């Protein structure tokens, strides 16, 4: 087993796992300093391309961004999302996951879903492709407004069954998205592998956020997003100063000229 995956597994019930997204080298360099897992999420579709659904993200999009991220990731585990419709059968899942691993040199892939895609997940794992699971709100197939999951007894039971199924199939961790606190807690306590929460309470073994959201680059108004810093004002300041100095001919002075 990949040594970085072993390290992640050992954190269960000991220390919290930090997971963050990166879509390019410069971001990945900063994320990698703190995160245990760097995720090239297909959220890049909405964050960078304004797509109204991650369904529109292509395999080429994911591979190109992941190759850039790979240049910045030195120590964390690098996971890449398999985009929508790239894992609808065992063969397509294997062909596309192999391509992602070969072309991006990432450590693992992430797929959205439980029982419905369990054959593909088993097939990937049987063929030595490390897989991270994703349950709860599944952006690739969600219809209409994003809603939290695990409210009813039936939904909770299905989520727990899916989580156990994923664990028994060999996934090394599961992202739990927008799952009600008691259900996320129950799932986490039922598993030997770690859960990584996003909008799923403090009871998960780790947390993931979209980095652009937490640094205030992306104007997201989702309940679980906390803006830890407002980066936009610093970007604005640098660009404003450059513009002023160009217009006043202060820049480039002799120091910056050949
Ligand atoms: O696409 C993504 O960035 C994700 C995380 C937010 C979990 O799947």
CATH number for the domain that contains residue 59: 3.20.20.60
255 and 194 in a common domain: no
Distance between CA atoms of residues 134 and 24, nearest Å: 22
Over range 152-175, report the average pLDDT: 97
For residue 175 and ligand 1, the question of a CB distance below 6 A is answered with: yes
Cα 46 from Cα 56, distance rounded (Å): 9
pLDDT at 179: 98
Q: Are residues 132 and 17 in the same domain?
A: yes
143 falls in which pLDDT band (50, 70, 90)?
confident
Active site amino acids: 177
Residues 28 and 51 in one domain: yes
Q: What is the mean pLDDT of residues 194-212?
A: 98
| Residue whose CA is at the smallest distance from ligand 1 atom 4 | 41
pLDDT exceeds 90 at position 153: yes
**Are 123 and 245 contained in the same domain?**
no
Place 221 in a pLDDT band, splitting at 50, 70 and 90: confident
Residue 145 has pLDDT above 80, yes or no: no
The mean pLDDT of 19-44, rounded to a whole number, is: 98
CA 43 to ligand 1: nearest atom = 1
Q: Tell whether 120 and 71 lie within a shared domain.
A: yes
Residue closest via CA to ligand 1's atom 3 equals: 41
Mean pLDDT score of the chain: 97
Q: For residues 43-61, give the mean pLDDT.
A: 96
205 and 236 share a domain? no
Do 223 and 242 share a domain, yes or no?
no
Residue with CA nearest ligand 1 atom 5: 41
Mark whether 156 and 258 lie in a shared domain. Answer: no
Residues 243 and 255 in one domain: yes
Long-range own/partner contacts, residues 39-45 (CB < 8 A, 24 or more apart): 39/79, 39/80, 39/81, 39/110, 39/208, 40/65, 40/66, 40/69, 40/78, 40/79, 40/80, 40/81, 40/104, 40/106, 41/81, 41/110, 41/210, 42/81, 42/83, 42/84, 42/139, 42/140, 43/139, 43/210
Confidence of residue 146 (pLDDT cuts 50, 70, 90): confident
At residue 219, the pLDDT reads: 85
Are residues 235 and 222 located together in one domain of the fold?
no
- Domain coverage including residue 245: 231-258
> Poorest-confidence range of 23-32, 142-151, 162-171?
142-151
**One domain, residues 223 and 240:** no
Q: Is the pLDDT of residue 37 over 90?
A: yes
Q: Are residues 223 and 243 in the same domain?
A: no
Q: Which atom of ligand 1 is nearest to the CA of 177?
A: 7
How many structural domains is the chain composed of? 2
């Amino acid at each position: 087993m990949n040594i970085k995956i072993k390290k992640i597994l050992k954190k269960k019930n000991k220390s919290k796992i930090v997971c963050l997204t990166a879509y390019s080298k410069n971001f990945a360099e900063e994320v990698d300093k703190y995160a245990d897992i760097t995720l090239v999420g297909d959220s890049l579709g909405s964050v960078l391309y304004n797509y109204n659904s991650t369904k529109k993200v292509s395999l080429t999009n994911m591979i190109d961004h992941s190759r850039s991220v790979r240049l910045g990731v030195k120590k964390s585990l690098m996971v890449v999302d398999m985009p929508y419709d790239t894992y609808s059968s065992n063969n397509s899942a294997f062909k596309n996951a192999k391509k992602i691993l070969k072309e991006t040199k990432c450590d693992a892939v992430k797929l959205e879903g439980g029982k419905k895609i369990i054959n593909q997940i088993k097939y990937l794992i049987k063929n030595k492709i490390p897989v991270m699971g994703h349950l709860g709100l599944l952006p690739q197939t969600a219809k209409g407004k994003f809603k939290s999951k695990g409210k009813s007894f039936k939904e909770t039971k299905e989520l727990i069954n899916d989580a156990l199924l994923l664990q028994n199939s060999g996934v090394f961790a599961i992202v739990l998205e927008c799952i009600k606190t008691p259900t996320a807690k129950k799932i986490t306590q039922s598993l030997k592998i770690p859960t990584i929460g996003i909008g799923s309470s403090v009871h998960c073994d780790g947390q993931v956020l979209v980095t652009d959201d937490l640094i205030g680059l992306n104007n997201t108004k989702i309940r679980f997003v906390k803006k830890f810093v407002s980066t936009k004002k610093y970007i604005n300041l640098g660009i404003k100063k450059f513009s002023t100095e160009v217009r006043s001919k202060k820049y480039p002075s002799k120091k910056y000229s050949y």
